[in-house]
Amino acid sequence: MIKSALEKVMSHDLSEIWTILSPDEKRRITDNFKIHNFNKNQIIYAEQEEPEYLWCLLKGKAKLYKGGVGGRQQITRLIRPVQYFGYRAYFAQERYVHTAATIEQSVLGALPMSLVEDMIDNNRRLAWFFIHELSRNLGSADTRIVNLTQKHIRGRLAEALIVLKDNYGYEDDGTTLRIYMGREDIANLSNMTTSNAIRTLTSFVNEKLLIVDGRQIKIIDEDSLRKISKFG
Report the alpha-carbon distance of residue 140 to residue 143 in Å, rounded. Answer: 5
Inform me whether the pLDDT recorded for 10 exceeds 80.
Answer: no
% the chain with pLDDT above 70? 91
What pLDDT, on a 0 to 100 scale, did the predictor assign at position 142?
A: 72
More confident residue, 35 or 11: 35
What is the CATH number assigned to the segment(s) 152-231?
Answer: 1.10.10.10
pLDDT higher than threshold 50 for residue 198: yes
Amino acid present at 94: E
pLDDT exceeds 70 at position 13: no
The mean pLDDT value of the chain amounts to 88
φ, ψ of residue 149 to 5 degrees: the values are -95, -20
Does domain 3-148 bear CATH number 3.40.50.720?
no
Query: With 90 as the cut, is the pLDDT of residue 14 above it?
Result: no
CA pair distance 78, 92, nearest whole angstrom? 21
Task: Please state, in angstroms and rounded to a whole number, the distance separating the CA atoms of residues 197 and 186.
Answer: 7
Mean pLDDT to the nearest integer, 127-139: 87
Q: What does the pLDDT look like over 115-132, one tens digit per residue? A: 999 999 989 989 998 898
pLDDT at residue 4, as a whole number: 53
pLDDT in tens, 89-106: 999 999 999 999 999 999
- Model pTM above 0.85: no
Span 35-51, pLDDT tens digits: 999 999 999 999 999 99
Q: With 90 as the cut, is the pLDDT of residue 78 above it?
A: yes
Q: At what angle do helices 153-168 and 194-206 cross, to 10 degrees?
A: 80
For residues 51-72, give the mean pLDDT. Answer: 88
Q: What is the mean pLDDT of residues 127-152?
A: 81
Domain boundaries, the chain: 3-148, 152-231
Between CA 187 and CA 185 the distance in angstroms is 5
Identify the pLDDT of residue 2: 46
Q: Do domains 3-148 and 152-231 have the same CATH topology?
A: no
* Rounded percentage of the chain residues whose pLDDT exceeds 90: 60
